């Protein structure tokens, strides 16, 4: 399934192609049909995915590597392999 944000779509901004009156009317009928079908689609609750990365910030006592979440600065020790920040939930990529 592919999620899209349909809010920015504005049929009034669609460029009507060149052609005779019937052709242009058919085009706009098609645009309006797409809008009608989009309105009928179910709405789901979705939150944007926050993405961050682990920033190496040095060594803590006992020579444990210290990293911080690039989104919330939450510190972890030798936790760079964590795929998500346990504080803010950001999905971690490569730094």
Round to whole Å and give the CA distance between 5 and 13. Answer: 16
- Contact range with Zn ion by CB under 5 A, out of 7-15, 24-32, 57-65, 72-80: 72-80
Per CB under 5 A, does 76 bind Zn ion? no
Per CB under 5 A, does 71 bind Zn ion? yes
Q: Residue 25 or residue 86: which is nearer to Zn ion going by CB?
A: 86
Per CB under 5 A, does 65 bind Zn ion? no
Closest CA to 1 of 46, 39, 31: 46
Start-to-end CA distance of the chain, whole Å, equals 29
Are 39 and 52 in contact by the 8 Å Cβ rule? The answer is no
Per CB under 5 A, does 91 bind Zn ion? no
Binding site for Zn ion (CB under 5 A): 69, 71-72, 74, 85, 87-88, 90
């Amino acid at each position: 399934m592919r999620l899209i944000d349909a809010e920015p779509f504005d049929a009034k901004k669609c460029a009507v192609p060149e052609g005779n009156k019937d052709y242009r009317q058919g085009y706009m009928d098609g645009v309006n049909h797409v809008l009608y079908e989009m309105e009928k689609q179910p709405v789901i609750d979705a939150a944007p995915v926050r993405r961050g990365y682990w920033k190496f910030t040095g060594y803590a006592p006992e020579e444990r590597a210290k990293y911080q979440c690039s989104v919330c600065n939450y510190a972890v020790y030798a936790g760079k392999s964590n795929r998500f920040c346990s504080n803010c939930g950001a999905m971690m990529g490569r730094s």
